[in-house]
Structure 1
C-alpha cells in the first residue's frame, strides 16, 4: 500500500534478529490485492505469495503476523515481528527510522474515485486512509481531507455520500470500480515504489531479502507475479 506514517516510534531496546530463528513477517491483511485474509482465515494476496517465495530463495523459515496499519511501524520497532511486507511505499520520512529493501514494485498510480468523473478533486471533500501517502497528498491540496482507519471505510464514505471522492492505490480501487457505480477521476504518482521495511539494526536480514528480490527480477518471476495479481509497477 502506498502509505506514510506521520509519527515515528522509539527503537527497540532488544538486540537485532538472530539469523537462526524464524522470521516473522508483519502485514495488514486488509489491502487487496497486496494482502488480505482469505475465507480460511489465512493471509493471502500478492505479498503472501511474494513473501513465501522470497523466504524460500533466502532459505529462511518464515511465519506471518497481522497488525493494524496505524501501529504497524511501532510494532516492528518494538520487536513484534522482523519485517513489514504490507504495501508500504518507500519514502524519505520512513527511511529516517527504518531500512528498506529495493522496491518490489516500481511507483504505481494512486487514483481518485468518485460517483462522478466531474468532481474537482482539488476543492472536493476527499477521503483517505489515515497515515498514508495519499492522505498526506490530499492535505497539500485545496481539498478537505477526511481520514478513516481502514481503506474499506474510505470507499464506504464515498458510497454513502459522506465525502465526494477517495484517494487510494489504483490497484486497490480497480476491482471496486468494476463492481460498483464509482468511476475513476484522475491518477497521481506518489512515493518511490513498495518495499519491505526492517529495523535499522537488521541489515544482514534485509540483505538476504534484497538478494532474493534481485533474483526474482533477474529471472522474470517478479513481473509474472505482478501480472498474476494485476498490479502495476512492473520492472
Structure 2
C-alpha cells in the first residue's frame, strides 16, 4: 500500500510540474501582450492633417501610422482632420472627434487662424481649451506647432509663434515646433495651391515629426 501511495504521489508531482511549465509561459505571453497593446492616437487638425488634395492613403495620419509600425510600434492613428478648420472650430468638435478609448491626441490646429490674421490670443485660448477638455478626460496631448507667414508682419509673427511653446511649457506637452518644417516654401513638395503638401511633402513631415511622436508614445506607455 505504501509503495502504491508513493507512486501516486510521484505521479501527482510530475503532473503539477508539467502544468507549471506550461502555465508560466502563458502568463508571460499574456503580460507581454498587455504591454504591447496597440495605442489609439487621434490626429486632430485641419487640412494638413486631413490630407487635402491627396488620396486617403497619402494623408498624414496614414503615413504616420505606417512609419510607426515599421519601427515596431503597435499603434493606430485616426484621421480627425477637417479642411478649413480653425482652433475654435476644433474646440467646437473635440468631444465627438476624439472618441472614448483614445490614448493620445496629436493636436495640429492654428494654420487657418494665421492665414486669416486671427488675433493670436483667440487662437491660444481655443487651443488651451481643447487641451483642458482632453486633460479632463484623461487623454494626453502632443502639440504640433505652426508659424506665422512673414507677410503678416513681425509683431503678429512674434505673438503667433509664441503660442505653441508657451502652451507646451504650461501643460508639460511634447511639442513639435513647426508642423511644416522642411516643407514650407519648397514648391516641389507643395500642391499647385502652394500651401498644401504633396504625398512626398507629407512623407517629409512624418520623417521630421517621428522622433517627437515616439517620445509621446513612450510617455503614454509609461503612464499606462
TM-score, with normalisation over the residues of structure 2? 0.33
Q: Which has the higher strand share?
A: 1
TM-score, with normalisation over the residues of structure 1? 0.32
User: Which protein, 1 or 2, shows the higher relative CO under an 8 Å CA cutoff with sep ≥ 6?
Assistant: 1
| Structure of higher CA gyration radius | 2
Q: Which has the higher helix share?
A: 2
